């Protein structure tokens, strides 16, 4: 589904990703773990076309996408749910969701997707007309996830959707992700600080440290891995 | 007398609002401002003039002709000169735009002197008969200018509120990055929005051409007015622009009559300065 | 001061002293106007190029300086030389007032406020014609009288320009200048480094305005007449294009731009009179689009900055 080969990404001459490669199969649920500043957001934004890799290639459904603009990538069915949300503060929840279906190909089944999002996050239905900037942090995160789902994506890139949320809300959101993966058959690539939860719900994981892939494997194995236990789970 | 002044103020205020919303639109989508906005007004006026004198068009053809030409001109200017703002991811787009569009202002104005001649032109009246509103006699031209301006402003408001493209523009204003990942092609929307903004200015110029007569330097005053409208009404608020335009039009007409016509322009400037300094979000703006 | 700056300064002085001997006399006026623009634009370069405040009302300050000095000469018989000081002082004072006001606004709102100020100044000058002479202008005494008055006025301008030039160089290399650049480049970072950004904004703005006032007073007393045209939008256009063509934020930019613009204008006035502003505006547009460093960028061919750009260009 998604294949990344030896990608190097720089910010004004400072390298953030070093020859990162990974591969994700159709309908897989994969997570990327790593400490702050490891390069997780950088990697997801590079896939979504917000950053251009200096070297390396990215294929989505066997099609090179590393030269494409972000708006082209969005219309291919690859949706990024960014860490900061990037919501439209002055628009209502409903309009925010509608913007998720902006690509022409996505405009046909808005009704169905909207219903699915409201089914996933019933609070949003009650607050349809509320401006996004007046929502709580958790509700905002739900709008961000919902907006990503509106284009019925083949693959979702989620950047720390649980950032700064209460444990109970985190559970809600992670549960929703499992549902999306199962019911909608959407491939998911998730980055998380919350390593324990992430490994519980995902099938495979990559560990990113200092911009390099440090380790990879099935989630169960990673949960039992010494390095991860010692450095991330505090066991 | 008072009633007549107020009605006149409203008609001219609607034209100001039309100038202001174009500027606000450009500011929203491209995050820049355009010093040459008034020059498109001037060009629109001349285009309507030539369309009616050389091609014999009635106003319902000549005004749209002016709009189409200014749209194309605006789009070309964006493509050639302003697009580096988004293709090169500039750090200070506003500084670039300030200088660039100021250069354009000088350029268009000087070019107009050479091409159209430095003299004043008076286009034929669009509507020769007068109209009576509440018993006050107003020239048909003024009523037409006010009415069409109102229609265009409201039309733009509906477009922005209801259509996909309009929603995309608003989204771009509020979060550029969000708009990008949602599939908005900012490069394309920029030249379209720039074209539309210029076409609105062109329409304003075409509409008032028979009232104020044409000369190459007429762009200055409407440019100023459009900034005043934007500052008073609040950025990105069409309702605000409308109210601000009317407010400005009415105070100015009254001020010119009761205080002194020499200080007519200063009134608007003082109002703008007041709002910028003490209520920077304007009447209806958020933040 | 760097070595090459001293060389440039000395060269300008030497050329300036020789010029009246070798050039026909019309050029004395022309070059004096170049001096005027150079002082004026050095001021704007400090405001926008150094401090990053896009003042769109800069042309109002020579008007203020010029009218102040001319009115003082008219009413209390102040000598034009003291008038220069008075003009610079009053313009600087108003610069402080406007500078304090614009602390509240950013980006292009700043530009609007300064513009509004300039327009109001212009309206007042034109409307209060009993005092200012309205559009007809106001007579001002010249610096010197007698057969060589113009020549002395020319030397006066040369001296004032060199004064402004030296000040701008010293500022550029000083601690103060660094504070201004910090405000321009990243105001939040500057703030967090403990720089009093509000103070330096007002300082940069008022400093540039004061130079503009000086320029205006020189203009009035050199020509013996000042009219509202000095504060017009066209003049703001010249200020902007001179600095952009010369090289924004560089020490040589304003002088280079002033001489280029004024001399070219004179040279083409014979066969293309009326086209000069059109031509300059095209040059300005092209410079902004393709050569953001202006002339200074062409001159710095060997500088690392241009090299980097060139490499980027080749790589693409
Ligand atoms: N816009 C930027 N400019 C310069 N450097 C950046 C920029 N964004 C990120 N970086 C740097 O790139 C590195 C990777 O950052 P990134 O945001 O991808 O980390 P992350 O893994 O998402 O961290 P977190 O868990 O805190 O979100 C960091 O060292 C960061 O400082
Ligand atoms: Mg991150």
Report ipTM for this prediction: 0.89
Mean confidence (pLDDT) of chain C: 86
| HEC readout, C267-299 | HHHHHHCCCHHHHHHHHHHHHHHHCCCHHHHHH
Q: Cα C205 vs. chain centroid, distance in angstroms?
A: 12
Enumerate residues 6+ apart whose C-beta is below 8 A from C271.
Answer: none
Query: Which residue puts its alpha carbon closest to atom 2 of ligand 1?
Result: A11
> How far is C-alpha C223 from the geometric centre of its chain's CA atoms?
18
> Closest to B106 (Cβ–Cβ): which among C109, C119, C237?
C237
**pLDDT value of position A172:** 82
Over 50: is that where the pLDDT of B59 sits? yes
Closest ligand by atom to A82 CA? 2
User: What pLDDT is stored for residue C296 in this prediction?
Assistant: 63
Q: B169-192 b/e with 16+ CB inside 10 Å = b?
A: bbbbbbbebbbbbbbbbbbebbbb
Chain A residues touching B168 at Cβ < 8 A: 99, 102
* CB atoms near residue A37 (< 10 Å): 12
pLDDT at residue C316, rounded to an integer: 30
Read off the pLDDT of each residue in A173-182 and give the average, rounded to a whole number.
88
| B167 vs A69, A71, A99: nearest CB | A99
Residue C315 binned pLDDT confidence (cut-offs 50, 70, 90): very low
Distance from Cα B20 to the centre of ligand 1, integer Å: 40
Predicted confidence (pLDDT) per residue in B236-277, tens digit: 678 888 999 999 999 988 888 888 777 777 788 888 878 877
Residue A23 in 3-state DSSP? strand
Shortest distance, CA B255 to any CA of chain C (angstroms): 15
C308, pLDDT greater than 90: no
Q: How confident is the model at residue C313 (pLDDT cuts 50, 70, 90)?
A: very low
Q: What integer pLDDT is reported at residue C294 of this predicted model?
A: 62
> Is C120 touching B (CB cutoff 8 A)?
yes
Mean predicted confidence (pLDDT) in C302-307: 45
> What are A15-73's pLDDT values in tens digits?
999 999 999 999 999 999 988 889 999 999 999 999 999 999 999 999 999 889 999 99
Share of chain C above pLDDT 70, in %: 92
Contacts of C10 (CB under 8 A, 6+ apart): none
Mean pLDDT, range C278-285, rounded to an integer: 89
Percent of chain B surpassing pLDDT 70: 99
Per-residue tokens: C293:
């460093």
**Is pLDDT of A155 > 90?**
yes
Range of weakest confidence among B55-69, B230-244, C213-227: B230-244
Chain C nearest-CA distance from B209, in A, is 23
Q: Which helix (H) or strand (E) holds C97?
A: helix C80-101
Q: Residue C108: pLDDT above 80? A: no
Q: Choosing among A70, A75, A87, A132, which should be mutated to test the B contact, i.e. which has the most B CBs within 10 A?
A: A70
| pLDDT higher than threshold 70 for residue C306 | no
Task: Using the mean position of ligand 2's atoms as its centre, give its distance from the Cα of residue A158 in Å.
Answer: 10
DSSP letter for A187, please.
E
Q: Which chain B residues are closer than 8 Å to C124 by Cβ?
A: 266
Per-residue pLDDT at C196 exceeds 70: yes
pLDDT, residue B239, reads: 84
Q: Does C302 score more than 50 pLDDT?
A: no
Of residues C113, C119, C284, nearest to B265 (C-beta) = C119
Locate A54 and state its tokens.
């200096």
Q: What spacing in Å lies between the alpha carbon of B126 and ligand 2's midpoint? A: 61
Looking from the CA of B209 toward its CB, the CA atoms found within 13 Å total 34
pLDDT band at A120 (very low <50, low <70, confident <90, very high): confident
What pLDDT score does A235 carry? 65
The pLDDT of residue B287 is 47
Q: Is residue C217 within 8 Å of C89, Cβ to Cβ?
A: no
Whether the per-residue pLDDT at C248 is higher than 80: the answer is yes
Q: Is A162 in the pocket of ligand 1 (CB under 6 A)?
A: no
Q: Which residue of chain C is at minimal alpha-carbon distance from B280?
A: C105
- Whether A38 is in the pocket of ligand 1, judged by its Cβ within 6 Å, is yes
CA distance B182 to A107: 12
């Amino acid at each position: 589904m998604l294949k990344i080969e030896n990608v190097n990404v720089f910010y004004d001459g400072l390298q953030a990703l070093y020859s990162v490669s990974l591969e994700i199969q159709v309908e897989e649920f994969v997570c990327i773990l790593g400490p702050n500043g490891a390069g997780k957001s950088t990697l997801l934004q590079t896939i979504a076309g917000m950053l251009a890799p200096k070297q390396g290639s990215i294929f989505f459904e066997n099609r090179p996408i590393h030269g494409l603009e972000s708006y082209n990538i969005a219309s291919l069915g690859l949706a990024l749910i960014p860490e900061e949300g990037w919501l439209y503060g002055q628009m209502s929840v409903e309009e925010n969701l509608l913007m998720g279906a902006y690509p022409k190909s996505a405009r046909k089944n808005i009704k169905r997707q909207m219903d699915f999002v409201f089914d996933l996050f019933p609070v949003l239905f009650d607050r349809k007309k509320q401006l996004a900037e007046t929502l709580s942090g958790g509700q905002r995160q739900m709008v961000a996830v919902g907006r990503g789902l509106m284009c019925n994506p083949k693959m979702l890139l989620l950047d720390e959707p649980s950032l700064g949320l209460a444990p109970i809300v985190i559970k809600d959101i992670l549960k929703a992700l499992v549902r999306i993966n199962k019911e909608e058959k959407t491939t998911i690539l998730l980055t998380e600080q919350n390593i324990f939860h992430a490994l519980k719900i995902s099938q495979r994981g990559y560990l990113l440290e200092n911009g390099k892939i440090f380790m990879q494997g099935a989630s169960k194995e990673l949960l039992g891995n010494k390095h991860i236990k010692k450095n991330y789970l505090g066991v | 007398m008072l009633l007549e002044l107020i009605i006149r103020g409203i008609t001219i205020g609607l034209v100001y609002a039309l100038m202001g919303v174009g500027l606000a639109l450009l500011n929203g989508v491209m995050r820049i401002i355009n010093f040459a906005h008034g020059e498109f007004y001037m060009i629109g006026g001349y285009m309507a003039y030539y369309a009616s004198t050389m091609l014999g068009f009635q106003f319902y053809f000549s005004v749209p002709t002016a709009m189409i030409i200014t749209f194309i001109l605006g789009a070309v200017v964006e493509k050639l000169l302003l697009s580096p703002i988004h293709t090169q991811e500039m750090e200070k787009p506003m500084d670039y735009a300030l200088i660039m569009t100021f250069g354009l202002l000088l350029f268009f104005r000087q070019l107009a002197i050479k091409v159209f001649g430095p003299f004043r032109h008076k286009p034929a009246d669009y509507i020769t008969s007068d109209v009576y509103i509440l018993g006050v006699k107003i020239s048909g031209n003024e009523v037409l200018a006010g009415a069409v301006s109102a229609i265009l402003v409201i039309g733009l408001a509906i477009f922005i509120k209801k259509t996909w493209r309009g929603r995309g523009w608003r989204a771009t204003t509020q979060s550029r990055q969000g708009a990008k990942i949602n599939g908005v092609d900012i490069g394309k929307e920029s030249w379209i929005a720039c074209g539309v903004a210029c076409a609105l200015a062109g329409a304003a110029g075409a509409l008032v051409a028979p009232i104020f007569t044409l000369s190459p330097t007429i762009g200055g005053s409407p440019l100023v007015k459009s900034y005043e409208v934007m500052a008073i009404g609040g950025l990105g608020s069409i309702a605000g622009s409308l109210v601000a335009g009317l407010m400005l039009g009415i105070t100015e007409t009254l001020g010119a009559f009761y205080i002194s016509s020499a200080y007519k322009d200063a009134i608007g400037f003082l109002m703008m300065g007041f709002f910028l300094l003490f209520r920077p979000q304007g009447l209806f703006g958020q933040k | 001061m760097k070595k090459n700056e001293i060389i440039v300064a000395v060269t300008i002085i030497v050329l300036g002293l020789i010029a009246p001997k070798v050039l026909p006399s019309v050029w004395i006026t022309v070059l004096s106007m170049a001096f005027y623009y150079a002082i004026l634009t050095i001021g704007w370069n400090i405001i926008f190029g150094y401090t990053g405040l896009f003042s769109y009302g800069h042309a109002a300050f020579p008007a203020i300086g010029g009218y102040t000095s001319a009115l003082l000469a008219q009413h209390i018989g102040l000598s034009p030389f003291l008038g220069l000081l008075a003009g610079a002082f009053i313009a600087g004072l108003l610069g402080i007032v406007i500078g304090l006001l614009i602390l509240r606004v950013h980006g292009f709102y700043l530009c609007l406020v300064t513009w509004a100020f300039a327009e109001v100044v212009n309206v007042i000058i034109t409307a209060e014609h009993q005092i200012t002479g309205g559009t007809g202008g106001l007579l001002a005494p010249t610096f010197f009288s007698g057969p060589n008055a113009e020549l002395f006025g020319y030397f006066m301008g040369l001296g004032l320009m060199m004064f402004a030039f030296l000040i701008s160089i010293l500022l550029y290399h000083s601690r103060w200048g660094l504070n201004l650049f910090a405000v321009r480049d990243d105001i939040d970072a500057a703030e967090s480094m403990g720089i009093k950004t509000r103070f330096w904004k007002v300082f940069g703005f008022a400093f540039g305005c004061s130079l503009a006032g000086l320029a205006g007073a020189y203009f009035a007393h050199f020509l013996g007449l000042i009219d509202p045209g000095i504060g017009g939008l066209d003049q703001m256009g010249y200020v902007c294009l001179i600095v952009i063509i010369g090289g924004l934020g560089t020490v040589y930019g304003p002088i280079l731009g002033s001489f280029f613009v004024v001399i070219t204008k004179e040279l083409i006035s014979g066969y293309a009179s009326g086209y000069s502003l059109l031509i300059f505006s095209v040059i300005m547009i092209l410079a902004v689009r393709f050569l953001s460093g202006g002339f200074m960028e062409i001159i710095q061919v060997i500088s690392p900055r241009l090299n980097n750009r060139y490499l980027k260009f080749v790589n693409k």
